[in-house]
Structure 1
């Protein structure tokens, strides 16, 4: 699980991304920040799609290491693994997904198929990537 940025999305420029490492299925949601409340909102959306995971792997961002997030994941009995600080290779799978997602977002933004809301663009990109 990680966050990437798409400045063109304005207030919702923080794109939270999670990947099911077994299936490769990607879920992303636009959020207005990187704080714990945004991480939890993203997790709840992901859990409704993928189910509750046994393990979550993140970087050491404040949204993932806060007491509030630790209490949240404990409620669901989720093990939390963090990577080595300042080592993006530890999050290689999700970092690669960021690149793939951003490429699809750029392609979609050039077209005129949907209203240009961040949610519609991300959902379209995820449909292309996942299916």
Structure 2
């Protein structure tokens, strides 16, 4: 909204509007422990993480890019490796094949139980890394992404895709939106914006890296 509108005291009023949102307060989840910051990959869609999410009795596959935090979500017909692979192929055809895919040790992903997923990784040429069962914090990044997506689904039951669109279009703490970081351009949402804002632009890697380092330091200090 700040990119589209301004009036005297607008920032304070916007923050107050968000802070007192009844729907947001209803689903507010207090943070009990500090997040473990992830290392920023060298480029978008280089490293992604994914996990399953159950909401309103439906199971979703949640995928998030470590560089841009761009979330992708699909509803699963079942929780088998075959079903997950089918949807991943569609997502990879859209965004490209990542170098690294991180998951937990669920039976759909663990190479011991799922030869299908191991063969998929070999055939499509990405490295599959599972988190240690004794150190779940190693996959804290996707845990945080799942919480965000789950809250969006809960707060926007009528049109969850619109909520995802707005999240992808909203600037992060580093100043760029997930869509900008992933695709090098702003995406059009229902928030009014002048046409010149949608021109493709190159991500300033030095600025992003600096902002991300500051964010990690703040999280460590908190």
TM range (shorter): 0.7 to 0.9
Counterpart pick for 2:164 among 121, 126, 130: 126
- TM-score normalised by length of structure 2: 0.49
19-28 or 42-51: bigger deviation: 42-51
Structure 1 or 2: more strand by fraction: 1
Query: What's the offset of the Cα at 1:98?
Result: 1.1
1:71 partnered with 2:119: yes
CA positional deviation for 1:82: 0.7
Q: Which structure is richer in relative contact order (CA contacts within 8 A, separation 6 or more)?
A: 1
The structure 1 residue matched to 2:81, chosen from 24, 32, 36, is: 36
Aligned residues of 1:88 and 1:95 also touching (Cα < 8 A): no
- The aligned residue for residue 185 of structure 2 is none
May I ask how many residue pairs the two structures share in their alignment? 117
Counterpart in 2 of 1:55? 100
SS at match of 1:32: coil
Q: Distance in 2 between matches of 1:86 and 1:124?
A: 37
1:58-95 deviations in Å (ceiling 9; x for gaps): 11111112101111111111111110115432211111
57, 65, 73: which one pairs with 1:20? 65
Please state which structure has a larger fraction of its residues in helix: 1
Give unmatched runs, 5+ long, in structure 1.
115-120
Q: Which consecutive segments of 4 or more residues in structure 1 shift more than 4 A?
A: none
Root mean square deviation of aligned Cα: 1.6
